[in-house]
Structure 1
Amino acid sequence: MRKLIYYVAVTVDGFIAAPDGAFDFFPLEGDHGPWLTERYPKTIPGHFRETLGLTQARPRAFDTVLMGRATHQVAVDEGLASGYPHLRQYVFTSHPGDLPVEDGLTITSGDPVAVVRELKAEPSDLDIWLCGGGALAATLIDEIDEFRLKVNPLILGAGIPLVAGQAAPVLSLRRRMAREFESGVTYMEFVRA
């Protein structure tokens, strides 16, 4: 069965974005960048893929991406219909009618848990990427199989937390791996124990 993997950049104090939703303070330069790009080439937004020579990159981890409206809005604000046209995309929003649509992009006000359970049941060797945001992560907390975190040496003090809002506690995670980079970023994987 496919897994739902929450792969996201986070600060030391647990925020995935500033209070206004900005996340441009996360460092892109450094020795962590090439390693993460090699491991997760399909997580690079579509409009950067050609510049980075990733248009022919085969999927290594994910073929589907899930996100909330605010995460998707970043691409819309750049004039794009979607940020990840090379993946099958699901955007969860309470106002689906006011977003541009393209092939491979599903905009829905449906139950995220039901959608994830259907996606997990599909036959595939590739997993499902939850790329944001914190409120969607809270809704899907019981469906998240792994947390793969790019922990950045930053403290915001306030912002959008990794899991925002009411969520059932997850008290049984096991760290599978950690890799430290000279840039100060630490990549960590946690799985349900």
Structure 2
Amino acid sequence: MRKLVYYVAVTLDGFIAAEDGTFDGFIFEGDHMAGINAHYPDTVPTQFRAAVELADAPNQHFDTVLMGRHTYQVPGGLASPYAHLRQFVVTSADLDTPADVEVVREDVVGRVQALKAEDGLDIWLCGGGKLAATLLPEIDRLLLKIHPVVFGRGIPLFDGKADIRKFARTDATLFESGVSFMTYDRV
């Protein structure tokens, strides 16, 4: 069975974006970028893959991406940010999306359970915090890029009521840039 993997950048104080949904405070230069991109090329937006020499890189971990509306509609966002993956946006709002981006308007938990039952690579939960809180019972793994920065306020890693779930750290990589890449699996 495929896993739902919440793979996201997060601040030391637990935010995945600023209050306005931007993430300019994260570190985009340093040894962590090459290291993470080499291991997770599937998570680089299609438009930028050639620039980081990943244009022809096969998907190693994910073939599907799931994101909330605010993650999909980040300022300066792309209509089809991950064209190399099967793309889903969860929202109740009316969105004008290209044919390769499917909108999920109801029963997101049921839709994720159906996706997990399909054959294929894992499912990447790209954001946001409200969607992550809703899907916490279905999240099998957390991949956290912890940046050495504090936002003070913003969009939390899990935004909303969620039942307690325990995870065990299964891997950790520390980079000279100060970014830590942590892997946690549900226990």
**Which TM-score applies when normalising by structure 1?**
0.93
The count of corresponding residues between Structure 1 and Structure 2 is 187
**Alignment partner of 1:178: what SS?**
strand
Q: Percent identity?
A: 53
Which one of 162, 177, 180 corresponds to residue 186 of structure 1? Answer: 180
Structure 2 Cα separation of the partners of residues 154 and 42 of structure 1 = 25
Instruction: Give the superposition deviation at 1:154.
Output: 0.6
Instruction: Give the superposition deviation at 1:82.
Output: 1.7
Structure 1 Cα separation of the partners of residues 63 and 175 of structure 2 = 27
Instruction: Give the superposition deviation at 1:25.
Output: 1.4
Structure 1 Cα separation of the partners of residues 77 and 68 of structure 2 = 18
**Alignment partner of 1:23: what SS?**
coil
Q: Which amino acid aligns with 2:52?
A: L
Say if 2:113 is the partner of 1:130: no
Q: Which amino acid aligns with 1:33?
A: M
Q: 1:121 to 1:27 in 2, by over 3 A?
A: same
Structure 2 Cα separation of the partners of residues 64 and 143 of structure 1 = 15
**Which TM-score applies when normalising by structure 2?**
0.96
Q: In the alignment, which residue of structure 2 is the partner of 1:102? A: 99
Q: Deviations over 1:70-101 (max 9, x none)?
A: 00002xx5363221111101000111x33222
Structure 1 Cα separation of the partners of residues 40 and 64 of structure 2 = 13
Q: 1:101 to 1:188 in 2, by over 3 A?
A: same
Say if 2:171 is the partner of 1:174: no
Q: In the alignment, which residue of structure 2 is the partner of 1:3? A: 3
Instruction: Give the superposition deviation at 1:187.
Output: 0.5
**Alignment partner of 1:113: what SS?**
helix
Q: Residues 152 and 184 of structure 1 are in contact (CA less than 8 Å); yes or no, is this contact kept in structure 2?
A: yes
Q: Which amino acid aligns with 2:130?
A: A
| Structure 1 gap ranges (5+) | none
Q: Which amino acid aligns with 2:90?
A: F
Q: Residues 67 and 133 of structure 1 are in contact (CA less than 8 Å); yes or no, is this contact kept in structure 2?
A: yes
Q: Deviations over 1:86-139 (max 9, x none)?
A: 1101000111x3322232x10121211011100100012x10000100000000
Q: In the alignment, which residue of structure 2 is the partner of 1:117? A: 113
| Structure 2 gap ranges (5+) | none
**Alignment partner of 2:142: what SS?**
strand
Instruction: Give the superposition deviation at 1:168.
Output: 1.0
Matches within 5 A, 1:20-35: 20-35=20-35
**Alignment partner of 1:168: what SS?**
coil
Segments ≥4 residues shifted beyond 4 Å: none
Q: In the alignment, which residue of structure 1 is the partner of 2:36? A: 36
**Alignment partner of 1:34: what SS?**
helix
Instruction: Give the superposition deviation at 1:178.
Output: 0.9
Q: In the alignment, which residue of structure 1 is the partner of 2:84? A: 86
**RMSD value over aligned CA atoms?**
1.1
